Amino acid sequence: MDIKCNICGNKSIITKTDRVHSELSRLYCSCKNKECMHRFVMDLEFSHSTAPSLLKKDELLLTLLKKLPEQEIQQIIEYLTNR
């Protein structure tokens, strides 16, 4: 991940990371430009998924199945059995 200094725009490095929450980290940064040497803190947070995790597919499937009428569940079972 490239971190840019908000003062001079040069590359900065992350010197420390504090995990505030499972979806939020506080990044302590230092500008590498010797004429700037700005130190600053940035927050990095999870926003949203653009595709579901494959690790959650069973959970997702069960959630969907629970919302279906029994008749539709039986049709799905029948379809999968006859494939």
1 and 37 housed in the same domain: yes
Which amino acid, one-letter code, is at 64? L
36 and 60 housed in the same domain: no
For the chain, the domain total comes to: 2
64 and 41 housed in the same domain: no
Question: Where in the sequence is the domain holding 15, given as residue range(s)?
Answer: 1-46
**42-77 burial by CB neighbour count: b if 16+ within 10 A, else e?**
eeeeeeeeeeeeeeeeeeeeeeeeeeeeeeeeeeee
Q: Torsions phi, psi of 61, nearest 5?
A: -65, -45
> 51 CB contacts (<8 Å, ≥6 apart)?
none
1 and 29 housed in the same domain: yes
The structure's pTM equals 0.67
List pLDDT tens digits, range 14-52.
999 999 999 999 999 999 999 999 999 999 999 999 998
Q: How far apart are CA 36 and CA 11, in angstroms?
A: 11
